[in-house]
Amino acid sequence: MNEATQQTPVLEARNIGKSLGGRPILSDLSLSVYKGEMKVLIGPSGAGKSTFLQCLNHLITPDTGELLLNGERISPANKGELRSLRERVGMIFQDFNLFDHLTAQENVSIALVKVKKMSRRDASLRAMMELERVGLSRRAGLYPAELSGGQKQRVAIARALAMDPEVILLDEPTSALDPELVGEVLAAIRELARGGMTMIMATHQMDFARALATEILFMEKGAIIERGAPASLLAPGAKTRTQAFFARLVAEESAC
Amino acid sequence: MLSLDMFWNRVIPALNEGLFFSLSLIIPSAVIGFLGGVCIGALRVYAPPAVRRIADFHVGVIRGVPLLLQLYFLYYALPKWGVRFSPYQAALLGFILCSSAYHSEYIRGALLSIRQGQVKAAYALGFSTLQMALCIVIPQAVRRALPGCGNEIIYLIKYSSLAYVLTFIELTGHAKELTARSFHYIEIYFTAGMYYLAMTSLAAWLLGLLEKKTRIPGFGAQK
Amino acid sequence: MQESILTICEAMPWILEGALITIGTVAAAMLLGLFLGVPMAIGQIYGNAATRGVIALYVWFFRGVPILVLLYLFYFGLVYQLNPLEFSLFGMQCSISLALSPFAASCIVLGLTSAAYQSQIFRGAINSLPSGQLKAARALGMRDFEAIASIILPQALRLSIPGWSNEYSILLKDSALVSVLGAMELMARTKAVATSTAEYTAFYVSAALLYFLITWIGLRGLRYAEKNFRIPGYSHL
């Protein structure tokens, strides 16, 4: 890694703010993610994690603040710049959002053809490669309705990866899954982290966050109220909000 | 009873000619009506509220008034305002207006049924709005609207017989002319009915085939 | 302008009378369609193969042939070709008059057509009922006829009301077609007055408003019925 990339964050958000109907949803959020890092957003539902992630690729337009991709300021008014931001920032949704009318392979290849202007042949080959990577090459011809939740999410990961994104945003990628399917999706994400992918992920999976996060950001009511390395936030006896939150999650899970 | 000789040599050729004129109405009205329905349906979902309201009103009027009345209006009332149509033009325009209004209902429902996540995912991959509409929304919406729009085309085939009351002599008109000379009402109208039945059945079969061809698992018709 | 308003006022009572004939035609056709459509739906679901085939053929025919052609076929065929129907029975010469009024012929043709559509509405409604309903009725010892009449139909007919509303507005618009037989209903009278006074726009627009009004009143009535007969937990199809 050379000096320059070390110093410039891949994605930087400065003072992002958003309100809806006069009620603030996000207030003054800042975050920088460097190459190969994984930032994990934690917090109760309704804390604004999802909104914040969608602000990072302007699926939701923030009211205030700015975004820098590799140090370059993105001006959202410029449609071309906006599209290139989205092309370079991948996103995984909680409820997959695979295109219902396309096969797994077409789901992965369509943006390569339409956005990256690849030839159809190259795009399908690339799609096959990405599906292979998430272990789904044998399901390439199936439609979303014929896949399990875990398989759908892995196709969504392949779809994001195929675009060669510089950073991937993951919005609670395992929340909509049955418990027995969570593992396969986490394994795919772990594989990405091992490969050095830069990621920002909202999740409730504590063990996963502890093992892989470079930094945990605890959000509540639209603000980051705690941040730090997992080792410090989750150290035994740390008495942090993060720790209390996870303790409650674990208690709820075992109560079920 | 109608003699077989007359049936084959007089009735069938006349009805065949009528069929040709009927098709000259049905095919353009079906194609333009469908495309118009897609445009109106899209306007009713995506246009600014003022335009949306105008389009809703237009569709409401067309769907609330008998087609015959619309045809009379186009053919008899508009000349007083200086707009003059031939019977063919009036019938064609009436059918296009009418079927585009009905198609727009199905298109509108289909567009509204597309989940927001589909649009978000397309934007997240860097699609432009046009690409998103062409590659994601329209292919899904058309599939959902297909059964309803198919029915509409079958209705159009049947209602094309109304062109005859504007003195455009198509299939029904030819049948009527034949009966005026021969008085074999039952045989001739029944045969004409079979022509229509053949057209509607063929259309239903083709539309079913199209539906089957474009069917995708987990992608039902809209309710 | 003033003159045209006067003309309209003069002609209005006559046109409104036509509107009543239109309403009568639609009501008669709806009822005929109901009485034929219900047994057809039941036959198509519970009947044997032959019954199902005949009903399917009927539905196919009436849904595939334009009403205009059916009107001509039925009215002219009966009144001018088969009328009077003469045949000999036990050596006696019989003659039956088939001379129908255009009004009666219209009601019958619209009713027969509507039966084809209504049978499909009822069929959909019956099919949407949970299959346990019939089983439970049989388990109580009801014969199939009783079970259908007292358990299935009361539920299915309630579920059919929205489909019926749709059928009503279609039938109302189709009823304008009977003017071609010379039945002097709303459309025919409007056209006659419009042509004789050359006030096309005014009369056609007022006819359109009358059609709207009749549609609206009918749909309100059906919605009221739907609300009144509602069973908790049942929503429309």
Instruction: Assess whether pLDDT exceeds 90 at residue A215.
Output: yes
C-beta atoms of B216 and A86 within 8 A = no
CB contact under 8 A, B197 and C64: yes
* CA separation for the pair B81, B93 (Å, rounded): 17
Q: How long is chain C?
A: 237
A91 close to B (CB below 8 A): yes
pLDDT at A152 over 80: yes
φ/ψ of B84, rounded to 5, equals -120, 125
Residue B91 C-alpha, separation from nearest chain A C-alpha, in angstroms: 37
- Provide the mean pLDDT of chain A: 89
Q: C174: which chain B residues are within 8 Å (Cβ-Cβ)?
A: 66
How far is residue C192's CA from residue C200's CA, in Å, rounded to a whole number? 10
Residue A176 sits at the chain B interface (C-beta within 8 Å)? no
pLDDT tens profile A105-123? 999 999 999 999 999 999 9
Residue-averaged pLDDT of chain C: 87
What is the reported pLDDT for C10? 83
The answer, for B130 touching chain A at a CB cutoff of 8 Å, is no
Residue of A nearest to B114 (CA): A100
Average pLDDT for B197-221 = 86
3-state SS, A192-241, equals HHHCCCCEEEECCCHHHHHHHCCEEEEEECCEEEEEECHHHHCCCCCCCH
Residues of C in contact with B154 (CB under 8 A): 63-64
Range A191-219 average pLDDT: 91
Say yes or no to pLDDT of A193 above 60.
yes
What pLDDT shows up at residue B217? 79
When pLDDT is averaged across residues B130-142 and rounded to a whole number, the result is 89
How many residues are present in chain A?
A: 256
Closest residue of B to C71, CA-based?
Answer: B189
pLDDT at A55 over 90: yes
In a domain, B200, yes or no: yes
pLDDT at B221 over 70: no
Asked which of A173-182, B18-27, B31-40, C23-32 is least confident by mean pLDDT, the reply is A173-182
Average pLDDT, chain B: 90
CB contacts of C197 in chain B (<8 Å) are none
Smallest CA–CA distance from A110 into chain B, residue: B135
Residue B56: CB partners within 8 Å, gap ≥ 6? Answer: B44
The pLDDT value recorded for residue B222 is: 44
| pLDDT greater than 90 at residue C223 | no
> For chain B, which chains pass the contact test of at least 3 CB pairs under 8 Å?
A, C
Residue B32 belongs to domain spanning: 4-213
B220 touches A: beta carbon within 8 Å: no
Q: What average pLDDT does range B213-217 have in this prediction? A: 85
The answer to whether the Cβ–Cβ distance between B217 and A101 falls below 8 Å is: no
pLDDT value at residue C233: 61
pLDDT digits (tens, 9 = 90+) for C120-136: 999 998 888 887 787 78
Q: Phi, psi (5° rounding) for residue C91? A: 80, 0
Q: Closest Cα to residue A100, out of A132, A164, A147?
A: A147
DSSP C89: E
Contact A87 B126 (CB under 8 A): yes
Place of tokens 């609206």: C216
* pLDDT over 60 (residue B112): yes
Q: Which residue has the higher pLDDT, C86 or B178?
A: B178
pTM: predicted TM-score of the whole model, two decimal places: 0.82
**Residue B94 placed within a domain:** yes
Residue C1 pLDDT level (bands cut at 50, 70, 90)? low
Closest partner residue to B124 among A59, A143, A146, by Cβ?
A59
Residue A6: per-residue pLDDT: 59
**pLDDT higher at C101 or B94:** B94
Segment of B169-173, C53-57, C187-191 carrying the highest mean pLDDT = C53-57
ipTM of the complex, rounded to two decimals:
0.87
Shortest distance between the Cα of C153 and any Cα of chain B, in A, equals 23
Facing C187 at nearest CB: one of B66, B160, B183: B66
B140 contacts A114? CB cut-off 8 A: no
Measured CA to CA, the distance from residue B106 to residue B110 in angstroms comes to 6
Query: Is A163 at the interface with chain B, CB within 8 A?
Result: yes
B139 CB-contact burial (10 Å; exposed 0-12 / middle 13-18 / buried 19+): middle
pLDDT band at A38 (very low <50, low <70, confident <90, very high): very high
Please state the rounded mean pLDDT for residues A11-20.
92
CB contact A165 to B (< 8 Å):
no
Task: Name the residue type at position B27.
Answer: I
Distance CA C136, CA C143 (A): 11
CB contact under 8 A, A163 and B125: yes
Contact B37, B149 (CB under 8 A): yes
Query: Which residue would you say has higher pLDDT here, C63 or C7?
Result: C63
Tell me the nearest-neighbour CA distance from C226 into chain B, angstroms: 19
**Nearest partner of C175 among C166, C163, C184, judged by Cα:** C184
How many Cβ pairs within 8 Å bridge chains B and C?
Answer: 115
- Cβ contact (<8 Å) for A101 and B139? yes
| pLDDT at residue A3 greater than cutoff 50 | no
3 state SS of C1: coil
- Whether residue A126 has pLDDT greater than 90: yes
Q: Which domain holds residue A70?
A: 3-255
The verdict on whether omega for the bond into residue C84 sits within 30 degrees of 0, i.e. cis, is yes
Give the 3-state DSSP-derived string for chain B, with helices as H, strands as E and coil as C. Answer: CCCHHHHHHHHHHHHHHHHHHHHHHHHHHHHHHHHHHHHHHHHHHHCCHHHHHHHHHHHHHHHHCCHHHHHHHHHHHHHHHCCCCCHHHHHHHHHHHHHHHHHHHHHHHHHHCCCHHHHHHHHHCCCCHHHHHHHHHHHHHHHHHHHHHHHHHHHHHHHHHHHHHHCCCCHHHHHHHHHHHHCCHHHHHHHHHHHHHHHHHHHHHHHHHHHHHCCCCCCCCCC
pLDDT tens, position by position, C74-84? 988 888 777 77
Taking any CB pair shorter than 8 Å as contact, residues of chain B touching chain C are 61, 64-69, 72-73, 76-77, 80-81, 154, 158-162, 164-165, 172, 175-176, 179, 183-186, 189-190, 192-193, 196-197, 200-201, 223
Q: Domain limits of chain C?
A: 2-87+94-228
Q: In this model, does residue B223 exceed pLDDT 50?
A: no
Domain count, chain A: 1
The confidence score (pLDDT) of residue A235 equals 82
Please list every residue in chain A whose beta carbon sits closer than 8 Å to the beta carbon of residue B140.
Answer: 99-101
pLDDT for B31: 96
pLDDT of residue C237 exceeding 70: no
pLDDT mean over B187-208: 93
User: What is the amino acid identity at position C95?
Assistant: S
* For residue A252, pLDDT beyond 70: yes
Q: Does pLDDT of C198 surpass 70?
A: yes
Q: What is the pLDDT of residues B97-110, one digit of tens each?
A: 999 999 999 999 99
Which chain A residues have a beta carbon less than 8 Å from that of B123?
Answer: 59, 86
Q: How confident is the model at residue B220 (pLDDT cuts 50, 70, 90)?
A: low
Report whether pLDDT(C150) > 70.
yes
Average pLDDT over residues A10-26: 91
Q: Name subunits touching A (3+ CB pairs < 8 A).
A: B
The three state secondary structure string of chain A is CCHHHHHCCCEEEEEEEEEECCEEEEEEEEEEECCCCEEEEECCCCCCHHHHHHHHCCCCCCCEEEEEECCEECCCCCHHHHHHHHHHEEEECCCCCCCCCCCHHHHHHHHHHHCCCCCHHHHHHHHHHHHHHCCCHHHCCCCHHHCCHHHHHHHHHHHHHHCCCCEEEEECCCCCCCHHHHHHHHHHHHHHHHCCCCEEEECCCHHHHHHHCCEEEEEECCEEEEEECHHHHCCCCCCCHHHHHHHHHHHHHHHC
Q: Which listed CATH number (3.40.50.2300, 1.10.238.10, 1.10.3720.10, 1.20.1300.10) goes with C2-87+94-228?
A: 1.10.3720.10
pLDDT of C106 strictly over 70: yes
Q: Write out chain C residues lying below 8 Å of B162, CB-based.
A: 68, 177
Give domain status of residue B221, yes or no: no
Q: Do B136 and A99 touch (CB under 8 A)?
A: yes
Output the domain CATH number for residue A191: 3.40.50.300
Q: Which of A59, A101, A146 sits opposite B143 (nearest CB)?
A: A101
Helices and strands counted in chain C (H then E): 9, 2
Nearest to A110 among B120, B135, B217 (CB): B135
Percent of chain C topping pLDDT 90 = 42
In this prediction, residue A54 carries a pLDDT of 93
> Is residue B11 included in any domain, yes or no?
yes
In this complex, whether A and B touch, counting 3 or more CB pairs under 8 angstroms, is yes
pLDDT tier at A1, thresholds 50, 70, 90: very low
Q: Are B185 and C78 in contact (CB under 8 A)?
A: no
For residue C72, the SS3 value is helix
Check residue A151 and give its pLDDT.
Answer: 94
Q: How many CA atoms lie within 13 A of C220 on its CB side?
A: 6
| Number of domains chain B is built from | 1
